[in-house]
Structures are given as C-alpha cells and as structure tokens.
Chain A
C-alpha cells in the first residue's frame, strides 16, 4: 500500500505562471577555480509555498540559493521575482543563514529591525517599523526579550531573532540556508515547527536549503532533490502529508525511503566518481 503515499494531495496552487513568487529558468553558475556550481536549473516557487532544496554537501544548493536571492549573478539564465527580473536582493525577500549573525552592538529589538530603514527598503514610518518588529518578535516568542543583548541569548533564541528579522520585512519569500543545522536536535524540531507556523501567518513562501531529509519531509510542501556535479535538480516530490507530520509516521517513512533510494540512484548513475571532472568527455 505504500506505493506512493506522498504525491496524492493536490499541489498548492502554485509553481507556474504569474502566481509564482519566484521563477527561474536555465540557470547555471560555476566557480572560476573549482568549477563547482550548478547547471540548467529551472524552478518556480508559488505564493505561500514551502519548497525544500535537498542535497548533499557540495552539490551547489547553497550557491543556487544565493543566485535565486540575488546575492550572486548567474552565468546564464534569468531569475524573476514577482515577475520582475532580479538584479539585487528584492526588498520583499528575506534571508536566514545557518548563523544567526546578530549584530552584538544592537539589542534584540534593534537587531530584529535592522535594515528596515535602509535606502533600498520600502519606505515606512518609524511607528510602523516598530509595530512590525514587535509583531515579529512576539511571533517567535521573544516579546519579553526586546532589550536583551545577543551575548545573552542561546543559539536557538539567536536564530529566533534572525527569523524575526526576516519576518519584520514582511517577505513574500523567505530564503533559508541550513538555518537550523547548528542547533541541537530538540531546538531544531521546535524551530522547524515554528517556521511552518509563522510563514503561514505571514503568508510567505519559503525556499529552505537543507541536507537533512527529515527536515525536508517535516517542513516542505515540495521537495527538490539536487545532486550531481555540476548540480542539477534530479527529482521532485510534492508532499501532501498533513501537519503536524510526526503524527503520520507511515507516510513519512515511505517518503523517506523513496527519497533515499532516489539519492542512491543519483549517486550511482548521475555522477561517475571520476577524479578528473574537468576533462572533456571521451567517446
């Protein structure tokens, strides 16, 4: 019965045409020195959709996120954000990294509001900015810690502030690059649940880069498996398991096995373990 437990639910209305927050076509990128990067990547992220980019280390998934976020320019291809070509990080996007990267000279409140008054951000008066920061901090459970300093926070709390900093910008799309991989398992599980909760309330879409299969399964509406060198998107799953997903162990396990076997396949056929990837293919 466990044939295809995960792909039955309807895909969240998304992923095509004008309803997409982000639309990328024919993207490629290569680092000059190592040649590492990715090629021929096309993907779309729908409004309010949580997409996980899953892959092993070195497959180019973090680089892909940086290109999609507008932090790096692609070698080829285009990225459109809300229909507009992207030249630099869009004001309606926000990033969360593996490190919280809080500024130690600002308290929690000012960290969460950092950058809202920058020149290239949408204009908002000080009172509106404050209200947004306050709301974001309340959502991540740190309303009582507004005046605390980053040095006084635990790793999980710091990452909550980083999440609040992203939410305060009221993003259409939240980019998250392994945001929980530096946290302990219990804190990680809390943060995963929190992320799903807050992005729903903020009506934001998410692109979450992770190497953790379980994280992808617990969080994602859609999982993109990235593998190869240069990296490509090898497989795609739409996850229809209702939240909270740990209550549906059987479906989760089946999807997990499915992804694992796809990973094995990708590493068996996708990339020959060649020590000389830079040479021309000999036929």
Chain B
C-alpha cells in the first residue's frame, strides 16, 4: 500500500481511537455518553445503510445541494461575466458584494421564512445565497484573467463573435467557474444541515434533530459520519472535475 494511502488511513484510525477513549472516559460520569461511542455509531450506521428512509433523507439533502448550486450558477456566472467585462458594473457592485458576502447566510433565515413560507423554498434561497459569491467572484476573475493571446488567436482566425464566445471565452473561464463551484459546494454543505433544522421534515439536518428527539444517539452520530463522508465525496468530485478539465491529473 502506498504511503499516500497509509498516512491518511492512520490519521483516521487515530481520530477514531481518540473518539473511543473520550466516550469511554466521559461515560464514567455521564453514562448516556456511552451511546456516542464509535462502536455504537458504526452499528447504527450499518443498520441505516440498508434503511430506505435514510437514503430518502440523503436524497432530499443532495437534491437541495443541486438546486442551490444550480441557482447560484444561474445567477453567479452571468453576474460574474458582467463584473469581469464592465469596469463600471464592477466598481459599482464590489463593495456591496463584499458586504453581503460577509453576512452569515443563516442570518437571513427568519426573513426568508417570512417571505417564502415554510418548506423547501427558504432552504434553496439560503443555499443559493451562500453559494453565489465564490462563483461570482471566480467567474469575474476568470474573465479578467482570460489570456489576451487567445483572443488575438481567435481574431487571427477570423472567428465570428459566436465562435469567439463558445470556442475561446467560455471554455477559457470554465476552470475558474469550477474552482468557484468547489468552494460553493463546501459552503452549501456546511449551511445545509442547520438550514434543514428549521421548518422541513426531511434531510440530514432534520434527521439529526429527529434522532435527538427519539433519543437515538447512535443514529445521531451515524448521521454525523454520513454528513462528513458525503461532504468529502462532493468535494472530491468537484476537485476531480476541475483537474479533469485542466488535464493536470
């Protein structure tokens, strides 16, 4: 086994050992904490892995990620292109964007629920709102950094406007958009769980609160493991896409 695989596995095993030791120690004073031990969590996990209800929660959460990301792309890419192309637009909006970007998206939760009602809509809104900034800013940077020589090349080939846009400009900024997507996925995944703790009846965030209310603590820990693993896989996928596009694998 190569060292690139051994060391990460060793790190994970060490963390699990610390986790086991901590629950063991703490359970002496607070017996209920024994429910949070790794052995319990993994037993619950193997049970949940074949439970269709769990897969439904995962499906709902992933769908929310997809919708939020799609909305953020639909708004962020055109706005980013505009920012990259138009100095006036960029100067007018940069302070506003930097201001909005620094507000935790969850702060908008009460307003979002009041305006959009209880259900999926406010969750989508929060996710899109959180994810739009890295996409927008990366797209704008991509347009600004577009290699001028590529544009000259297009002109030397007498490219039409459409050929320049679709064969040079858009492919030329895909790498930037993808690195924005990777950041956006990270943010969405972090915002998703708390956003699902309010006013919805499915999803991993909901499942955590539900497990707590059912006193199903091993399941709660299992859900945390699932959240971590899925987030890791999403990030891995985004990184793979990025590198695949750049052919630097």
Interface centre among B154, B158, B167, B171 (most CB of A within 10 A): B158
A43 at the interface (CB under 8 A from B): no
- Docked CA distance A124–B155 (Å): 20
- Docked CA distance A95–B153 (Å): 8
Interface centre among A91, A94, A119 (most CB of B within 10 A): A119
Using a CB-CB cutoff of 8 Å, which residues 171-196 of chain B contact chain A? 171-172, 174-175
Interface contact A120-B168, CB-CB below 8 Å? no
Residue of A whose beta carbon sits closest to that of B159: A118
Residues of B within 8 A of A118 (CB): 157-160, 163
7 further A-B pairs in the complex, CB-CB below 8 A; given A94-B156, A118-B159: A95-B156, A97-B153, A101-B153, A105-B175, A120-B159, A121-B158, A151-B248
Encode contact with A along B142-175: 1 for CB under 8 Å, 0 otherwise: 0000010110111111111001000110011011
B245 at the interface (CB under 8 A from A): yes
Interface contact B153-A120, CB-CB below 8 Å? no
Residue of B whose beta carbon sits closest to that of A71: B155
Partner of A91, one of B153, B155, B158: B158
Using a CB-CB cutoff of 8 Å, which residues 107-163 of chain A contact chain B? 107, 114-115, 118-121, 149-152
Interface contact A88-B158, CB-CB below 8 Å? yes
The total of Cβ contacts below 8 Å across the A-B interface reads 66
CB distance from A206 to the nearest CB of B (A): 15
Partner of A104, one of B154, B163, B167, B246: B246
Residues of B within 8 A of A95 (CB): 152-153, 156
Residues of B within 8 A of A119 (CB): 158, 160, 163
- Docked CA distance A103–B147 (Å): 10
Interface contact A71-B150, CB-CB below 8 Å? no
A99 at the interface (CB under 8 A from B): yes
A69 at the interface (CB under 8 A from B): yes
Given contacts A97-B149, A105-B174, contact A115 B247 (CB under 8 A): no
Residues of A within 8 A of B156 (CB): 69, 71, 89, 94-95
- Docked CA distance A150–B163 (Å): 21
| A–B complex contacts, Cβ < 8 Å, 24 sampled | A71-B152, A71-B155, A89-B158, A95-B153, A101-B147, A101-B152, A103-B150, A103-B172, A104-B247, A105-B175, A105-B246, A107-B247, A114-B153, A114-B167, A115-B153, A115-B154, A115-B159, A119-B158, A119-B160, A119-B163, A120-B157, A120-B160, A149-B247, A150-B247
Partner of B157, one of A97, A115, A150: A115
Shortest Cβ-Cβ A-B pairs, 7 listed: A115-B157, A149-B247, A120-B158, A101-B149, A95-B156, A105-B171, A89-B156
Residues of A within 8 A of B172 (CB): 103, 105
Residues of B within 8 A of A (CB): 147, 149-150, 152-160, 163, 167-168, 171-172, 174-175, 245-248
CB distance from B162 to the nearest CB of A (A): 9
- Docked CA distance A40–B68 (Å): 61
Residues of B within 8 A of A99 (CB): 149
Interface contact A121-B157, CB-CB below 8 Å? yes
Interface contact B246-A101, CB-CB below 8 Å? no
- Docked CA distance A115–B166 (Å): 12
CB distance from A148 to the nearest CB of B (A): 9
- Docked CA distance A221–B245 (Å): 44
- Docked CA distance A149–B175 (Å): 15
Partner of A103, one of B152, B160, B171: B171
- Docked CA distance A114–B172 (Å): 14
Residues of A within 8 A of B157 (CB): 89, 114-115, 118, 120-121
Residue of A whose beta carbon sits closest to that of B157: A115
Residues of A within 8 A of B153 (CB): 95, 97, 101, 114-115
- Docked CA distance A150–B175 (Å): 15
Residues of A within 8 A of B160 (CB): 118-120
Residue of A whose beta carbon sits closest to that of B154: A115
Interface contact B152-A89, CB-CB below 8 Å? no
Residues of B within 8 A of A152 (CB): 247
Residues of A within 8 A of B175 (CB): 104-105
Residue of B whose beta carbon sits closest to that of A177: B152
CB distance from B155 to the nearest CB of A (A): 6
- Docked CA distance A250–B248 (Å): 49
- Docked CA distance A107–B246 (Å): 11
Partner of B152, one of A88, A91, A97, A115: A97
- Docked CA distance A101–B248 (Å): 17
Using a CB-CB cutoff of 8 Å, which residues 192-251 of chain A contact chain B? none
CB distance from A27 to the nearest CB of B (A): 19
Residues of B within 8 A of A105 (CB): 171-172, 174-175, 245-247
